[in-house]
Amino acid sequence: MDFEVFTILPEVFPAYLESSIMLRASEKGAIAVHLHNIRDFAHDRHHTTDDVPYGGGGGMIMKPEPVFEAVETVLSFTGSSPPPCPIVLLTPQGRTFTQALARELSTHPRIALICGRYEGVDERIRMNLATDEVSVGDYVLTGGELPALIVIDAVSRLLPGVLGDPNGAESDSHASGLLEHPHYTRPPSFRGRKVPEVLLSGDHSRISRWRREQSLLRTQDRRPDLLARVSLTEDECQFLSGPQPPTSM
């Protein structure tokens, strides 16, 4: 999958993309991240990408000309033709980025990510260039670079060959609509705190049931709003409504 990233700060990306899972995914050819400096498409002497807002007010606004030229040049299309891939503007005003949205984006062989900056972007970028708007949460950052990395990471994990365990992403928190069950590793006892016996039993049926129950309990305890969106069996509903052991920490 190809990610086309449009930013005025391309230098912030390599440290993360050239590490760990992202690096291995790139080396395997599962993903390719192409960084495009919007300043390269500003033709004045100072490569200006921002200007004061019409009507007054604080902050600066990203100019439309270099952003349009950057995206249209890299994607090889013009305003009179449909874009060849989704063009996502990272903005607090977009739809909330969720696991479901990550899965939706992962179905495309190529996506473009526009990193906003300053006070915001010229509305014509939003209305006439972007095909989608995405927010990583109800808070404000200084730019779209961190959100772009979040999208790249979350989407990449869903692609074949990216994770060492081909089913690894399926058990992640939110992948099933629930929070993930607790995890333990060696040693079996640490400072008097023992690993639950069921995980040492070798009984995979019991382990699977325990993990599902722990996932349900943890979600009910920490994110009860998520349960309303998940289809539960009658046994699971009875389990949640009955007396519960302490939720694993």
Task: Per residue of the chain (249 residues), give pLDDT as tens.
Answer: 999 999 999 999 999 999 999 999 999 999 999 999 999 999 999 999 999 999 999 899 999 999 999 999 999 998 788 999 999 999 999 999 999 999 999 999 999 999 999 889 999 999 999 999 999 999 999 999 999 999 999 999 999 989 977 665 555 556 678 999 999 999 999 999 999 999 999 999 999 999 999 999 999 999 999 998 899 999 999 999 998 766 444
Q: Do residues 147 and 187 share a domain?
A: no
| Candidate list 66, 117, 145, 157, residue with the active-site label | 157
Q: Do residues 53 and 10 share a domain?
A: yes
pLDDT in the model for residue 249: 46
117 in a domain, yes or no? yes
Q: Do residues 54 and 113 share a domain?
A: yes
pLDDT in the model for residue 80: 81
| Candidate list 40, 65, 69, 119, residue with the active-site label | 119
Q: Do residues 12 and 103 share a domain?
A: yes
- 129, 156, 183 — which closes off a domain? 156
167 in a domain, yes or no? no
Active site residue 197: no
Q: In total, how many domains does the chain have?
A: 2
Active site residue 92: yes
Determine which helix (DSSP H) or strand (DSSP E) holds 110, and give its type and residue range: strand 110-115
pLDDT in the model for residue 176: 76
How far is 134 from 144, CA to CA, in rounded Å?
Answer: 10
| Candidate list 92, 110, 132, 211, residue with the active-site label | 92
Which CATH number fits the domain that encloses residue 214?
A: 1.10.1270.20
Q: Do residues 58 and 111 share a domain?
A: yes
How far is 194 from 45, CA to CA, in rounded Å?
Answer: 65
Structural domain for 208, as ranges: 173-241
How far is 43 from 181, CA to CA, in rounded Å?
Answer: 53
CA distance readout (Å), 62 to 15, 52, 68, 155, 163: 25, 9, 11, 27, 37
What is the reported pTM? 0.88
Q: Do residues 152 and 183 share a domain?
A: no
Q: Do residues 92 and 17 share a domain?
A: yes
For 177, the 3-state DSSP assignment is coil
| Candidate list 72, 132, 172, 236, residue with the active-site label | 172
Active site residue 180: no
For the chain, count helices (H), then strands (E).
10, 10
Q: Do residues 95 and 184 share a domain?
A: no
pLDDT in the model for residue 239: 95
